[in-house]
Amino acid sequence: MRLVFLGAPGVGKGTQADRVTAQFGWPKISTGDLLREAVRNKTALGLEAKKSMDAGKLVPDNVVIGMVRTKLAESLCGKGFILDGFPRTVQQAEELNGILAGSGIDLDRVINFRVSRQDVVHRLSGRRSCPKCQSVFHVDFAAPKVSGLCDRCGEALVQRSDDKPETIEARLKVYDEQTAPLIAYYEAKQKLSDLDGSGAPGHVYDRLASVLRGLGAK
């Protein structure tokens, strides 16, 4: 199944995409993860992207689209994929249509995760990640066994620089202005399914899996 996971930062798209990948086998393509990897590896693309990411702004469309084009090429012949965090602008959505149409395929569904603004801010500000193995924790909802240390590899956990309060505000503003219009865009194409993203990850996953099974996922 070819899916897009849409929603504000912090709604849990990445966490749910990992679960869906584990259950159904469709690979997750997360532009945020790909960009953070490029930043860690200090590639030219990473150095360019870092400025926008640290400011809570979107990385320029041409940079992100080039990256997705390469990554998607690996998944187009497979059983499907989950795009997490892409598209984030109408231009990106149009480019995606073009890439898929070029291979004679289309998206099956866009899942729009809905969570209250208050919950989103709480989820983002408490998120901590491991700089070594990339595991993600939350100070309240998914605390590590030893405070501040990664359960998997013991490394000291860090807060993503774009999860600091000022940057969270900027990211949510960018979402409202540039990404939220995609809801109407995909609704008009009759591709959108709304999903209540509130509550524990397991409960959200149960709702999501039932939507996907309703769409024929096995």
The footprint of ligand AMP (CB under 6 A) covers 9, 31-32, 35, 52-53, 56-59, 64, 85-86, 88, 92, 162, 171
Active site residue 13: yes
The Cα–Cα gap between 171 and 202 comes to: 26
Q: How far is the CB of 126 from ligand AMP (least distance, A)?
A: 15
CB 65 within 8 Å of CB 83: no
Active site residue 88: yes
The Cα–Cα gap between 84 and 195 comes to: 15
Q: How far is the CB of 96 from ligand AMP (least distance, A)?
A: 10
Say which of 2, 28, 88, 123 is annotated catalytic: 88
Say which of 2, 13, 28, 123 is annotated catalytic: 13
Q: What are the C-alpha distances in Å from 80 to residues 106, 119, 195, 210?
A: 11, 31, 20, 18
- Nearer Cβ to ligand AMP, position 61 or 194? 61
- Ramachandran region, residue 185 (left: φ > 0; alpha: ψ -120 to 50; beta: rest): alpha
Q: How far is the CB of 88 from ligand AMP (least distance, A)?
A: 4
Q: How far is the CB of 53 from ligand AMP (least distance, A)?
A: 4
Active site residue 2: no
- Nearer Cβ to ligand AMP, position 32 or 197? 32
Cα–Cα–Cα angle for 68, 73, 78, rounded to 5 degrees: 120
- Nearer Cβ to ligand AMP, position 90 or 211? 90
- Nearer Cβ to ligand AMP, position 109 or 123? 123
Q: Is the peptide bond before 87 cis (omega within 30 degrees of 0)?
A: yes
CB 56 within 8 Å of CB 171: yes
Q: Which residues are catalytic?
A: 13, 88, 127, 160, 171
